Structure 1
């Protein structure tokens, strides 16, 4: 009996387990050092090898998977539901990929503003403190979905060169980061917001009609108000966004 227990302990300690990095939900880091297991192995024995593997790669992390799907579904509400033709016609924008991206970028920013509010907490000084939570994770998933879509669309452009396409994505990425900062600065000031829209959509051209910029600002304010009224649970589990028409502003 004692000999049997000793052999069992030896076999358990030398099983070929690998260390796994759970820091990222969809990444697996293989290690070479054996995992140290407690002497009480009843809990470990309940999980099959398949379940352990699925947990390692993130398939069993239902919460993270749902949040990632939420991010992708939210992004899909932009290219699928935005009336791009109205933006081109009413704001006198050229029907080009660059214009499509600027319109998409603005709507994505609106989603980011709403979802980052999920991580805002009031402090004792009446100021809001942001913490990295579900909102931050979904925000990253929305941006990830955006660039996946942009990459696919650029490849479909006639005569697209892979090297040129990569450079275009890099340039768009830089413009995207600058636009997020500019729009954020305009959240509390319509004049600043109008300047950001004028710069982004019309490159500060003096020939642009002031009413076009004003319509963009009114659209942003109205859309943000509607997004803010969506309950957190609906935004998280029923990511369906109905975008306002630019013609109503």
Structure 2
């Protein structure tokens, strides 16, 4: 079995994350009950580039600027601007260390919008599990990460469905519904045994299609090792600099030179975009 041992506190954190996940998703449109079965085909979302490497970033409200000036940040351990920048960079760092094509081939996923979204959701979930250990600061980070992700997915989808706003919004709404179910299944699977986690992978990545067992075993191992890896990164990586990366699907060696260059590029762009 490919299991890691969690302490009672970590199990409680992850279980509590279900409640927080529902709270931060509650600002999204009401999800449909059906799961996404087919989104735009012909062009994989992974090949579609947004108009810029970063979306329109955080611009604080007048009240937030007053609070910041007076040092009134509540229970947040960093300013909202710093936290938003960290969340934005962490989101875009997903692309610098995740082998989207490798995961897609491993599970024989079609090259469509939904496949890219499902892989993004898995790596967003890794961050959400870590954020819940940061208390109120983590809740703020989760909210901003969700905002950044949906902005980015919408910008990419606009290139696949130009001028079809109604269809695009409908399909993104279905994808939100699937994200909700997927993340709750992952929460359950990561604190249970590998059969439960493999079932979550099979349902949401393979959509109940016949899948060789060794492919599911590979993905379970990938999820387990990255949960452990993300938990070992320093808190400042999530709250201050946004520097995160993931272990590869095959093996545990990361090209840190490549990742570091992407980090510096994103950090420079973020510094110039956040007002």
Tell me, yes or no, whether TM beats 0.5: yes
Aligned pair count reads: 188
Alpha-carbon shift at residue 184 of structure 1 (Å): 0.7
Choose the corresponding residue for 2:108, options 84, 92, 100.
Answer: 92
Per-residue CA deviations over 1:150-196 (Å, capped at 9, x if unaligned) read 11011010555111001011111111111111111112112211111
Choose the corresponding residue for 2:137, options 134, 146, 155.
Answer: 134
Contact 2:96–2:245, Cα closer than 8 Å, also in 1: no
**Residues 90 and 247 of structure 1: CA distance in aligned 2, closer, same or farther (over 3 Å):** farther
Alpha-carbon shift at residue 57 of structure 1 (Å): 9.8
Choose the corresponding residue for 1:185, options 182, 185, 188.
Answer: 188
**Residues 117 and 57 of structure 1: CA distance in aligned 2, closer, same or farther (over 3 Å):** closer
Per-residue CA deviations over 1:103-151 (Å, capped at 9, x if unaligned) read 11100000110111222xxxxxxxxxxxxx0011001111111101111
Task: Give the 5 Å matches for 1:118-129.
Answer: 118-119=134-135
Higher RCO structure, 1 or 2 (CA under 8 Å, sep 6+): 2
Choose the corresponding residue for 1:203, options 199, 202, 207.
Answer: 207
SS in 1 for 2:79: helix
For 2:220 and 2:103, the matched residues in 1 are separated by 13
For 2:86 and 2:232, the matched residues in 1 are separated by 18
Per-residue CA deviations over 1:64-113 (Å, capped at 9, x if unaligned) read 11111111111111134321111122332222211111111100000110
SS in 1 for 2:250: helix
Mark the runs of 5 or more structure 1 residues left unpaired by the alignment. 1-24, 30-52, 120-132
1:55 and 2:66 matched: yes
1:64 and 2:67 matched: no
1:232 and 2:235 matched: yes
For 1:142 and 1:103, the matched residues in 2 are separated by 15
**Residues 191 and 146 of structure 1: CA distance in aligned 2, closer, same or farther (over 3 Å):** same
1:219 is aligned to: 222
1:172 and 2:175 matched: yes
**Residues 70 and 191 of structure 1: CA distance in aligned 2, closer, same or farther (over 3 Å):** same
2:118 is aligned to: 102
1:144 is aligned to: 147
- Alpha-carbon RMSD across the aligned residues, in angstroms, is 2.5
**Residues 196 and 160 of structure 1: CA distance in aligned 2, closer, same or farther (over 3 Å):** farther
**Residues 164 and 69 of structure 1: CA distance in aligned 2, closer, same or farther (over 3 Å):** same
Contact 2:93–2:244, Cα closer than 8 Å, also in 1: yes
**Residues 153 and 63 of structure 1: CA distance in aligned 2, closer, same or farther (over 3 Å):** same
1:47 is aligned to: none
SS in 1 for 2:190: coil
For 2:225 and 2:217, the matched residues in 1 are separated by 12
1:194 and 2:198 matched: yes
Per-residue CA deviations over 1:191-212 (Å, capped at 9, x if unaligned) read 211111110001122x211111
